[in-house]
Structure formats: structure tokens, C-alpha cells
Structure 1
Amino acid sequence: MKKRKVAVYEGHMLSTLKSFTDAVMSIIATIMVLEIPLPKFIGTNHYDFRETSSSLIIFFVSFLVVVSYYFQFSKFFGRIKKMSGWQIFAYTIFLMLVSPFPLYDSN
């Protein structure tokens, strides 16, 4: 039985994947911030923060989850020197599953 070659990526490919991760996580965080509604103006120097406060709490929790994923993978990329094609594929699937996170936190 012939042994199959496994694609191995290192160096520039890993830094490109890290940059792509930075971009995806930045876009996710930006969209989550844009989902926060502005407080309603109810009079002279008074705003109604009831709707905004619940959205802010949801945003903070969601943001902490996304940031924890980001820092875990930053540490991961700092330790590895090579990745196989399957590992990169699995990682891009992970990014795909994290991408709709702003939808979960919209009201």
C-alpha cells in the first residue's frame, strides 16, 4: 500500500492564516458593536438605557467569548511550527462556526 503525502504548511502560510484570523475576529467584534442600539432620548439630557443595558450585557459576554477564542488560538499559533492541510481545514471550519456570532447577540 502506497503512503500518501500529507500537505504541510509552515512559515508564510501560518502567518497568513494568523492574519486571516485577526481579520475575521476584528470583523466579528465590529459587527457585534454595531448591533448595540443607541439609547432613546426621552427629554432634556435624559436617555432611556433599559434596552441598551440588556444589549450591552449580551455584547460583553459575547465579546469575552470571542476574545477568549482569539487568545487561545494566538497562543496556539505561537507554539506550532507546522500544520497539516487537515488541521488548516478544521481551523477554517472553526472560523466559519464563529463567524455568525454577531447574529446570536442581536436582539
Structure 2
Amino acid sequence: MKAGDMLHLNRAASPQFVRPIFFRLIKVRTELHTYAGWIWLDGYQLDERGEAVARRELYVLEAAVRLLRTPRSNSGHGTRRTQKAPARSLNQGAELVGDGRVDLYAGL
């Protein structure tokens, strides 16, 4: 895991995530000592549009952290975009569940 990675954290990662969250990683806190297999993460909790809503430090089981995507490295060499791609929502492809709520995790 590295800075900028988007993570999906659920109850398997830590009991505090009764409702799963999306998380943008700032850094793994390697200077903090933990039990084997557990790590401290520093980053931002994201809303359904991928916007930061809260800065958090989280203690999670590393094996249960799900990496969703990593930021593309663009050095600017050899490629040039002429058109901006349309904005994508985290819940693109989401489905309605029986009670009318949106299931943000349908496509995961």
C-alpha cells in the first residue's frame, strides 16, 4: 500500500466498520508498534463521490484491507489529453436493494 491508494474497509478489517467505508491512504504508520498482522493507517474517509469527509487514523487487520485502485503515475512524457474524461462516481453501477437504499458495493 502506498499514498493515494483507495481502500475498502469492512468488518473483517476491524470491528468498528459495521458499515464499510472507502478510505484514501496518506500513509501507513510504520513507526507505531502493533500486534502481528495489524497496522495503523492515516488518511481520509470518502463519501460516495470519492470526496474526503473526515481525516482518520485507523487500526486495521492488514490482510483484510481491500485495495480498490492506485493512482496513475503520469510523468507527462509522450501522452497528451485533449478531452477531460467524464467524472466517475464511486457508486457507478450501484444497485437498489429491496428497501430502496443504494448498494454502493454491488460492483465490487
Shared fold (TM-score, shorter chain, > 0.5): no
Shorter chain as denominator, the TM-score bin is: under 0.3
TM-score normalised by length of structure 1: 0.26
Structure with more helix by fraction: 1
Structure with the greater alpha carbon radius of gyration: 1
Structure with more strand by fraction: 2
